[in-house]
């Protein structure tokens, strides 16, 4: 794997940091040419804590949680919002989600263990995954989780057997693949027909399976779930999915007499990764989904179900940034300018994996215009190891602190220790105070499981 070919004619955008629009975390400001987030000087923080460093604007992510909960409750009182922890997980984000009255979407036993560690109410947990192991299912059922999303017939048998053995009846939702092509990168699209997730509506497969799910002992089918993909800009995709789902629910109620009390629409709202991106707001997403549910329930003559959504990225992505120190500068004449930082694909695999775009700035020159085009490469033994390709930045020098915006989602949770790189610490900043909520991994941590 190598870097995408650089456009040598690309011109810088000459924007200063504060001109990066929706990319910036809520409390970003520039004072004396330094970038501040949560009232904390990012340059000083990088020096104190070392780099690479994940920093989260606590006010930003709390505000987004509040916006989700308040908009959904206002527009559709019988609803709840589950934070999709795969986007970013540590104990502190779970504590904050709990304090905000959110539910949690957990994928598997590890995420459930975090929830147990912070005494998250188990009835507010939704368990996902296309191949939850029997052990994970047993952990979830014995913990008393609210709902398990059943993804296949084989899994149905397992849940039923385990619940019976534990003397329980487990509430479940069936994951339906509604065949909607969402407007997003093909790798993170999940609702279309060629998908490993859920029961497809194609050839009436899902509809026929509902009968088996209803007949299975020790489980109680309370509703249906879908998730059409992630980083979705076109809100109409959600309306299309809702139509398929409500049509399905109406048919199931009519033909099988099943009372469907729950509808879970998954996550997927897109966010701004670049200054040019203009994503929909949380309120617009809430308006689109809740009005679609109301409209189609009216059209098909069914009662409004309890509604759930599972946002991940749109809660944490913009709140998070990554700080790095510039170590090496290289000019490849006629090819590109390389700026090597002290992290890379180990703390952010998204650029290598999806050719994701990010906005970088030099945090100690934050008030200056971005007058260079560079490729920010990492320190790993892999030619495709880059965090930002062909992006504008203030003229970088050795020792400068680079801040890459919008790294709050799917960076830490997809991080690795490739080349023996310890994973960065995570610092939450708020009201001028920085607190480390996950300490930096040490060399000893890397070896702690070895004999
Ligand atoms: N619910 C389910 C069942 C999901 O599979 C996902 C994400 C979500 C909710 C949350 O979706 P969000 O609101 O974050 O879009 N690693 C990729 C993203 C994979 C998303 C997987 N599922 C990335 O870095 O872009």
R_g (Cα) of the chain, nearest Å: 23
* Chain mean position to CA 381: 27
pLDDT at 2: 83
Q: How many residues in the chain? A: 451
CB of 351 sitting under 6 A from ligand 1: no
Helix (H) or strand (E) holding 172: strand 170-177
**What is the best residue among 80, 310, 357 to mutate for testing ligand 1's pocket, by most ligand atoms within 8 Å of CB?**
310
Ligand 1 centroid–CA 84 distance in Å is 7
**What is the best residue among 129, 230, 265, 411 to mutate for testing ligand 1's pocket, by most ligand atoms within 8 Å of CB?**
230
Q: How far apart are CA 360 and CA 321, in angstroms?
A: 10
CB of 87 sitting under 6 A from ligand 1: yes
Q: Is the dihedral of CA 302, 304, 310, 314 positive or negative?
A: positive
Ligand 1 centroid–CA 268 distance in Å is 6
pTM (2 d.p.): 0.96
Helix (H) or strand (E) holding 29: strand 29-31
Q: Residue 8 CB: number of other CB atoms within 10 A?
A: 13
Axis-axis angle for helices 58-75, 91-99 (nearest 10): 40
- Going from the C-alpha of 99 to that of each of 65, 94, 96, 102, the distances in angstroms are 10, 9, 5, 8
Ligand 1 centroid–CA 10 distance in Å is 32
158 burial type by CB count under 10 A (0-12 exposed, 13-18 middle, 19+ buried):
middle
Q: Residue 425 CB: number of other CB atoms within 10 A?
A: 18
pLDDT at 74: 98
Q: How far apart are CA 198 and CA 242, in angstroms?
A: 16
Cis amide leading into 248 (omega within 30): no
Residue 381 a catalytic site member: yes
pLDDT at 181: 75
The two three-digit tokens of residue 336, written as one number: 């590109």
Helix (H/G/I), strand (E/B), else coil: 318: coil
* Chain mean position to CA 339: 28
**What is the best residue among 268, 314, 347 to mutate for testing ligand 1's pocket, by most ligand atoms within 8 Å of CB?**
268
Asked whether 363 and 43 are in contact (CB, 8 A), the reply is yes
pLDDT at 338: 97
pLDDT in tens, the chain (451 residues): 788 888 888 999 999 999 999 999 999 999 999 999 999 999 999 999 999 999 999 999 999 999 999 999 999 999 999 999 999 999 999 999 999 999 999 999 999 999 999 999 999 999 999 999 999 999 999 999 999 999 999 999 999 999 999 999 999 999 999 988 776 655 555 666 778 999 999 999 999 999 999 999 999 999 999 999 999 999 999 999 999 999 999 999 999 999 999 999 999 999 999 999 999 999 999 999 999 999 999 999 999 999 999 999 999 999 999 999 999 999 999 999 999 999 999 999 999 999 999 999 999 999 999 999 999 999 999 999 999 999 999 999 999 999 999 999 999 999 999 999 999 999 999 999 999 999 999 999 999 999 9
The two three-digit tokens of residue 288, written as one number: 């689109």
Asked whether 151 and 202 are in contact (CB, 8 A), the reply is no
- Among 24, 84, 36, CA closest to 308: 84
Structure letter (DSSP) for residue 186: G
CB of 350 sitting under 6 A from ligand 1: yes
Question: Given 192, 209, 226, 381, which residue is catalytic?
Answer: 381
Ligand 1 centroid–CA 357 distance in Å is 17
Ligand 1 centroid–CA 228 distance in Å is 9
Exposure on the CB side of residue 39, measured as CA atoms within 13 A: 8
């Amino acid at each position: 794997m190598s870097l995408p070919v650089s456009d040598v004619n690309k011109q810088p955008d000459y924007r200063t940091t504060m001109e990066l629009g929706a990319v910036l975390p809520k409390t970003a400001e520039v004072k004396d040419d330094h970038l501040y987030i949560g009232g904390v000087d990012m340059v000083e923080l990088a020096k104190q804590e070392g780099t690479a460093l994940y920093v989260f604007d606590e006010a930003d992510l709390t505000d987004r949680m509040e916006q989700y909960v308040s908009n959904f409750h206002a527009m559709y009182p019988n609803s709840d919002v589950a934070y999709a922890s795969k986007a970013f997980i540590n104990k502190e984000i779970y504590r904050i989600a709990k304090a905000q009255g959110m539910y949690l979407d957990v994928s598997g036993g590890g995420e459930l263990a975090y929830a147990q560690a912070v005494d998250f109410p188990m009835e507010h947990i939704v368990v996902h995954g296309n191949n939850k192991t029997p052990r994970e299912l047993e952990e979830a059922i014995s913990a008393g989780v609210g709902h398990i999303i059943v993804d296949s017939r084989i899994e149905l048998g397992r849940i039923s057997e385990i619940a019976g053995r534990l003397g329980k009846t487990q509430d479940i939702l069936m994951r339906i693949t509604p065949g909607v092509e969402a407007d997003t990168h093909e790798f993170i699209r999940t609702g279309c027909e060629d998908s490993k997730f859920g029961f497809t509506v194609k050839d009436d497969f899902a509809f026929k399976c509902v009968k088996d799910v209803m007949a299975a002992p020790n489980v109680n089918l309370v509703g249906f779930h879908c998730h059409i993909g992630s980083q979705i800009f076109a809100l109409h995709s959600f309306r299309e999915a809702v139509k398929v789902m409500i049509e399905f629910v109406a048919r199931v109620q009519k033909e099988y007499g099943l009372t469907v009390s729950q509808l879970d629409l998954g996550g997927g709202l897109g966010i701004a990764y670049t200054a040019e991106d203009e994503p929909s707001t949380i309120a617009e997403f809430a308006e689109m989904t809740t009005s679609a549910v109301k409209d189609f329930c009216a059209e098909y003559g069914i009662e409004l179900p309890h509604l759930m959504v599972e946002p991940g990225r749109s809660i944490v992505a913009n709140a998070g940034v990554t700080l790095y120190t510039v170590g090496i500068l290289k000019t490849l004449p006629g090819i590109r300018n390389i700026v090597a930082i002290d992290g890379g694909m180990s703390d952010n695999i998204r650029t290598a994996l999806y050719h994701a775009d990010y906005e970088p700035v030099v945090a100690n020159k934050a008030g200056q215009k971005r007058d260079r085009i560079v490729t920010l490469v990492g320190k790993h033994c892999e030619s495709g190891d880059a965090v930002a390709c062909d992006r504008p930045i203030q003229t970088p020098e050795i020792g400068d602190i680079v801040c890459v915006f919008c790294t709050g989602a799917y960076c830490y949770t997809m991080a690795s220790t490739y080349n023996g790189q310890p994973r960065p610490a995570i610092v939450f900043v708020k009201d001028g105070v920085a607190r480390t909520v996950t300490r930096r991994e040490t060399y000893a941590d890397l070896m702690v499981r070895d004999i």
